[in-house]
Copies of this chain bind each other. A is one copy, B any other.
Amino acid sequence: MPPRKRGQSVGLDRSVILDAAAEVLAENGSSGLSMRAIASRLGVVPNALYNHFHDKTELIDALLDHTLGQVPTPLGGDPRTDLVGIMIATFDTLAAQGALVPLYIDRHGSRGPNAVALGKHMVQSFLALGLDETTAQRAIYVLIVQAIGFTAYGVSAPNPQANRAAFIDSLNWTLDGAIRSQ
């Protein structure tokens, strides 16, 4: 295909760029996720991306939150079952993105709207379980760090199955502890 002329619009937007980034990440891993590789996959010059993201960190943050948007939130069953369901779904969704989480951690990621929404859902479940607000916030923080920690560590884990099983143990122990602490 012939190179575009200057100024010719190409229909780039955040969503298209994020999809391309996910593909590059899946194919080439975190070290291969460069702005240049994403641009190249879109048939575009690297600096074109900067019209849609301020820098690479913002792109990675957006990609993580975009991923979090795919986590299904169970609606209103038993609160504890809901919490377990949300956390396992979060783990599996992040784990499917491979090296994204380590990259996110290294780039000082901030939480996006989907992360916030997930957090709100969890507060409700904890309140229904009888926790006060501050204890609920603490428990949620612990659960989030664990989910991120296990997915990040799982990328290089020799046995992904064992890593997932360890996460589920950790999850249940945390729920028991948080509930018992009230």
A145 to B164, CA, bound (A): 12
Interface of A is mostly: helix
A173 to B141, CA, bound (A): 14
Give a binary string over A103-126; 1 marks a CB under 8 Å from any B CB, 0 the rest: 101101100000000000000000
The count of identical subunits is 2
A10 to B5, CA, bound (A): 55
In the complex, which residue of chain B has the Cβ closest to the Cβ of A179?
Answer: B173
Is the CB–CB distance between A166 and B153 below 8 Å?
no
Q: Is A170 an interface residue (CB 8 A)?
A: yes
Q: Given A105-B105, A149-B150, A150-B149, A142 and B155 touching (CB < 8 A)?
A: no
In the complex, which residue of chain B has the Cβ closest to the Cβ of A180?
Answer: B176
Is the CB–CB distance between A106 and B145 below 8 Å?
no
Contacts of A20 in B (CB 8 A): none
Is the CB–CB distance between B177 and A169 below 8 Å?
yes
Interface size on A, residues (CB 8 A): 33
* A59 to B: closest C-beta gap in Å: 15
Q: Which residues of A contact B (CB under 8 A)?
A: 30, 99, 102-103, 105-106, 108-109, 138, 141-142, 145-146, 148-150, 152-153, 155-156, 162, 165-166, 169-170, 172-174, 176-178, 180-181
Q: Could you name 27 residue pairs across A and B whose Cβ atoms are closer than 8 Å?
A: A30-B106, A102-B102, A102-B105, A105-B106, A105-B152, A105-B153, A108-B156, A138-B165, A141-B162, A142-B173, A145-B146, A145-B166, A145-B170, A146-B146, A146-B170, A148-B149, A148-B152, A149-B149, A149-B153, A152-B152, A169-B177, A169-B181, A172-B177, A173-B173, A173-B176, A173-B178, A177-B177
